[in-house]
Amino acid sequence: MKRRFHIKPYDPNKVRKPRSAAQQAATARAFTIARLRGLWYLVTVLSPSRRATVQEIIDGELRDLGAEPQSKRRLREIRERDAQWAAEDAERERLSQIPF
């Protein structure tokens, strides 16, 4: 039986390719965007007026990074989820009409 995974011995002489500056910048940007999106949800413990203010600031930061603002992203995800649920309900209704 052929092994699917081969254990490779540690090679101390292996030369690791350093990441380019562009790769490092892209990773830092993606990490910052992920942290901001997480922070956007963490501010739900604040009062409504403060929450709105902080979420607007975070959306501005995301816009500055060239990412979709979290408020628009959240609304888009809700629309997509509702559309998916409506399609599932329609399919369920269609299948319930089939006489078995």
pLDDT, tens only, 10-19: 777 777 778 8
Domain ranges of the chain: 25-96
**pLDDT of 60-74, one tens digit each?**
999 999 999 999 999
Torsion of CA 71, 75, 40, 27, to 10 degrees: -90
CB 58 within 8 A of CB 70: yes
Residue 55: name the closest of 66, 39, 67, 68 by CA. Answer: 39
- What CA–CA distance (Å, rounded) separates 84 from 96? 18
Quote the pLDDT of residue 5.
Answer: 67
pTM, two decimals, is 0.67
